[in-house]
Amino acid sequence: MKQHLSSIALLVRDYDEAIAFYVNKLGFKLIEDTRLSPTKRWVLVALPGARETRLLLAKAVGARQRARVGDQTGGRVFLFLRTDDFKRDYARYKARGIAFIEKPRREKYGTVAVFEDLDGNLWDLIQPNARGTRR
């Protein structure tokens, strides 16, 4: 049996603002943007070359969901963006205005720096060492 995560829901304030951020700043590709109702859309974005996992940009509805936008994990790093060239992507993201909350650092598993998305969720930009344990 083969299984994989197909989508991870990410609460956002606004569909168009989120699409612009993920596509124009982080370099994701817009996979699908389908209107389901006057207020709800099915919006999927993915990194170039990604075959399986996508982000579902889900507009927060109601006070409970809106309170979670930007803090879906209680302040922990939420998503891990693996790269094959840390220097290239770090420089590109900085030039596009991505807010890194720390300087790059070398760890036993590789090079990493934490950044915030447009709503304040924390991400790791990470390039594992050849023997790095994060996959």
Domain 72-135: top CATH class: alpha beta
pLDDT for res 132? 52
Place of tokens 């094959």: 84
> Which is more confident, 26 or 75?
26
What separation in angstroms does the CA of 67 have from each of 20, 62, 72, 103? 22, 9, 9, 29
CATH number given to 1-69: 3.10.180.10
Element (H, E) at 123: strand 122-128
What separation in angstroms does the CA of 40 have from each of 26, 35, 87, 107, 131? 24, 6, 38, 41, 43
Boundaries of every domain in the chain: 1-69, 72-135
pLDDT for res 128? 95
pLDDT in tens, 39-86: 999 999 999 988 889 999 999 999 999 999 999 999 899 999 999 999
What pTM value is reported for the model? 0.89
72-135: same fold as 1-69? Answer: yes
* Burial of residue 127, with CB atoms counted within 10 A of its CB: 0-12 exposed, 13-18 middle, 19 or more buried: buried
pLDDT for res 2? 87
